[in-house]
A and B are shown apart, each in its own frame.
Chain A
Amino acid sequence: MSSTEHIATAHVHRDDVGSRMGMWLFLFTEILLFGGMFFLYSVYRFQFAHEFHVAAKELNTIIGAFNTAILLTSSLTMVLAIIAIQRKQKTLSIVMQIITIGLALFFLVNKYFEWTAKIHHGIYPGSEELLSKDSGEILFYGLYYMMTGLHGLHVVVGMVLIGIMTRLTARNSITHDSYVRLENAGLYWHLVDIIWIFLFPLFYLIT
């Protein structure tokens, strides 16, 4: 019996470490993508320190802090989903993954209300209200929409990815013995969290 098992598994080409390493390499390109925007932000913040302070006062710190808490919690549920599958607790893992997706959705809903409130006040790229302000404030809001927008896009991608993983877990394609795809989705999700960890103080806490 064990010999047939051995033959059966011998043909499975699997390299979980290599798989995770590939994911990390991809994450580095993401770091550089956002890094470029952080470069822009830092130079303009030095150049227009006062304008950035004035512009940042308009942002809602409470929503920002709340969204930080949501993302941190979703990172926790993601990591718990992986531990659960390792312990053969399939249902718990699926529940944790669904909670993660739910929290991501919650984050985006908050973001939606935050953005619509801004747009309602006439502050959006190219608006008359914004163009009448100092160039430093225009830059601040340009960066704000660009960086939180791109981050939001990553949240959407993360939701889709975790959704696929939930389906695979339900179909027993991801099991306690083979869960590297779930781990990689988790790595992506944690990076999205890390980017927000830096976006939050840089945009919401400079009053």
Chain B
Amino acid sequence: MEQHNNHTEHTHSYGIYILVWLALMTLTAVTVAVAGMDIGNFTVATALLIACVKAYLVLTIFMHLKQEGKTFFVFVLIALFFLIISFVLLFSDYSFQ
């Protein structure tokens, strides 16, 4: 009966997921509304910030990262680290050309 320990213990009810879905829909509405306003350079920053919050919600709640072991979290962090490193190197190269 060792198998049972192999499962992620999902103690969530349906409710939390519907709540997160509502939050995601609201954030989508907000990002569309903000794009309509003229706030100069902040438009891109706001859009990306909202996208990151949405991605975080999907990763942690829908993809159950919060319930997985620490290893998964470290995995994702390392993957994101390399993505960010690539962006940083790309733009440091691009800016000095």
Contacts and interface: CB of A to CB of B under 8 A. Distances in A.
Interface of A: 6, 9, 12, 14-17, 20-21, 24-25, 28, 31-32, 35, 39, 42-43, 46, 61, 65, 68-69, 72-73, 75-76, 78-80, 82-83, 86, 177, 183, 186-187, 190-191, 193-194, 197-198, 200-202, 205-207
Q: Max chain A CB contacts within 10 Å: which of B43, B69, B83?
A: B83
Overall SS of chain B's interface: helix
B63 A83 contact: no
B55 A197 contact: yes
Interface string B1-20: 11100111010101001101
Interface string B56-97: 001100111000110110011001001100110011001000
Interface of B: 1-3, 6-8, 10, 12, 14, 17-18, 20-21, 24-25, 28, 31-32, 35, 43-44, 47-48, 50-51, 54-55, 58-59, 62-64, 68-69, 71-72, 75-76, 79, 82-83, 86-87, 90-91, 94
A31 B79 contact: yes
Contacts of A193: 58, 62
A21 B72 contact: yes
Contacts of A20: 68, 72
Contacts of B28: 65, 68-69, 72, 200
A76 B55 contact: no
